[in-house]
Amino acid sequence: MIQHPGILALLVASGIVSLLLAAAGWQGFRILRGWDLRSGSEVQLDLERRTYLVSTLVANALLIQILSLFLFIFTADGLHTQFVGAMCAAGSLAVNGYGYPTLLVKVATCLLAGVWLVLHRADTQGYDYPLIRPKYLLLLVLVPLVLTETWLQLSYLTGLKADVMTSCCGSLFGQGRQGFAAELAGLPPRIMQPVFGGTFGALLLAGFALLRFRRGAGLFSALSLAFLLVAVAALISFFCLYIYELPTHHCPFCLLQREYGWVGYPLYATLLGGAIAGLGVGVLAPFRRQESLAGVVPAMQARLAWTTLVLAALFTLIVGVWMALSPLRL
Amino acid sequence: MIELAQVVKTYEAGLATPFTAVDGVTLSIPAARLTVFKGPSGSGKTTLLTLIGCMARPTSGRIHLHGLAADALPHLDATEALEITSLPERFLTAIRRRTFGFIFQQFNLVRGISVLENVLLPTYPTGEDPRAVEARAVARLESLGLARHLRASVDRLSGGEAQRVAIARALINDPAVIIADEPTAHLDSRLSEDFMGLMSQFKEAGKTLLITSHDPIVYDSELADRVVEMRDGRVVSEA
């Protein structure tokens, strides 16, 4: 099974990303310990030169890291035919104890990698490396997380045994079952519909306040993360019922299949993209008065806020259109 | 003013054959004056000017520009000192383009294109109105006596004419500082005197002039406000 192209690509990508980030993490540690822009010492000038190389490597590694989340889901979905009982990625991920932890850590690193890229983008706009410390502090958080993910993913992919009987998504995300997934599936639509609508409305209002009055970056950021969580819960609770045209099928992974037009990919991409941009708004907020970023951060925050709003609206539009066209009525 | 503090440039630092071209130079260069750097080949004059002109980074030390890079960076006060050795590359590009004009020893004109096109080259990335910059380039070439060569290929120019084209190109973005590396090395005495005459005009216009030379026509000239002598990468005398 290890010869599967998706598995090979994931292992190679995670190996390369881990090596690059481990090396960059060491340089980041040196930068955090020794950075002093007022000094003209050889060490300081060497750090200034190295930060270009390190930042470029990390930026590219993190882009691969973000894309690898989707490759991981795609591969897990493609592998489900190999396991007895699996109907989609939900079953493949349940083949051993590392599948779901890998997915969760991958989502976390995807969000943090996105935030790092936002910080990096802002940092390169300032002439005095204004975000060098927060950028490398975040990198030092990312490195152990990515290394953990690499180990989890390796354990998961090398531990795939074709003779294992696994659970189907109907069993994992079925109402009345035990576990977090089943609890999400059991959330009543009459509660989740207003919660989703309320969160979307609050996000729009916070976005309006941010763009109009340049206030509330932290609130907007928190709401963008809340929208991600609520939207996933709403997707499992009721949106996917309309997509599957089945009142009892709550699986968030079958959406990734051809039968449903691979709609899961744009849905998850809009949610993750929107959350990353929204988190970026809040992360940049403390630096908007920094001299070299005064003309940069507000414009970047506005662009990021627009990105979050557009992607949240796009998610809502896609699920809304699907609901409207679905013959299912709850 | 340009201020250098303990500037060192070592090539192949950390390798088996390191070579220190500039060794701990601390210097203040006044604005709107002509400063000549003299010394034998290998004394570090050219390397020092490439560091000042943001074409290379020092191994250690800092270089500050005082009031010379006002329009190169946004939000920068015209009177504020700007430390250039730590600047990220994208900002260095803006400073190279706006603050410094370079006249190279070999002129470095692009063969196969016309005199006017050579002079216009540094303006292309600025996004200025092409008609305005062309008018400026024509006026500059006319003032240097090159009006009849505007559309001629640079391959057909004499040494003195080629140098004047290089001067026009260095001035096209109206830099505050002109850096000339051994500008009279390939000129006879009369053309060298002509060159110094042009430098006199630029000095009167308020330009800061930095020239490396071991030609007495340059460093013994009355125009030179300051002569910095270098040897083995160090400043050995200032007059």
CA-CA distance, B210 to B202, in Å (whole number)?
12
**Where a domain ends, among A167, A200, A216?**
A167
Average of per-residue pLDDT across A192-196: 94
A245 and A289 co-located in one domain: yes
Number of A/B CB contacts below 8 angstroms equals 39
**Where a domain ends, among A167, A189, A209?**
A167
Interface membership of A42 toward B (CB under 8 Å): yes
A329 and A244 co-located in one domain: yes
Residue B28 DSSP SS3: strand
**Where a domain ends, among A134, A167, A200?**
A167
Contacts of A294 in chain B (CB under 8 A): 75
Q: What is the mean pLDDT of chain A?
A: 92
A202 and A319 co-located in one domain: yes
Query: A311 with A277: CB under 8 angstroms?
Result: yes
CA-CA distance, A1 to A8, in Å (whole number)?
10
H/E stretch holding A180: helix A180-185
The interface predicted TM-score of the complex, written ipTM, equals 0.81
Tokens standing for residue A236: 């499992």
**pLDDT tens-digit series, residues A6-43:** 999 999 999 999 999 999 999 999 999 999 998 999 99
A277 and A208 co-located in one domain: yes
Q: How confident is the model at residue A171 (pLDDT cuts 50, 70, 90)?
A: confident
A50 and A105 co-located in one domain: yes
pTM to 2 decimals? 0.87
CA-CA distance, A79 to A75, in Å (whole number)?
6
A271 and A298 co-located in one domain: yes
DSSP state of A134: H
Average of per-residue pLDDT across B147-171: 90
Interface membership of B50 toward A (CB under 8 Å): no
Please tell me the CATH superfamily of domain B2-238, with its number: P-loop containing nucleotide triphosphate hydrolases (3.40.50.300)
pLDDT given for residue B76 in this prediction: 63
Domain count, chain A: 2
Close Cβ partners of A267 (under 8 Å, ≥ 6 residues apart):
A235, A255, A315, A318, A319
CA-CA distance, B24 to A319, in Å (whole number)?
67
A275 and A126 co-located in one domain: no
**pLDDT tens-digit series, residues A206-257:** 999 999 998 999 999 999 999 999 999 999 999 999 999 888 888 899 999 9
Domain that holds residue A83: 1-167
Closest chain B residue to the Cα of A37, Cα to Cα? B86
Interface membership of A290 toward B (CB under 8 Å): no
Average of per-residue pLDDT across A251-268: 93
A147 and A188 co-located in one domain: no
Q: What is the mean pLDDT of chain B?
A: 90
Interface membership of B58 toward A (CB under 8 Å): yes
Pairwise CB contact (< 8 Å): B60 & A42: yes
CA-CA distance, B219 to B189, in Å (whole number)?
14
Pairwise CB contact (< 8 Å): B61 & A127: no
Q: Residue B153's closest CA among B107, B109, B115?
A: B115
A51 and A40 co-located in one domain: yes
A139 and A238 co-located in one domain: no
CA-CA distance, A170 to A223, in Å (whole number)?
31
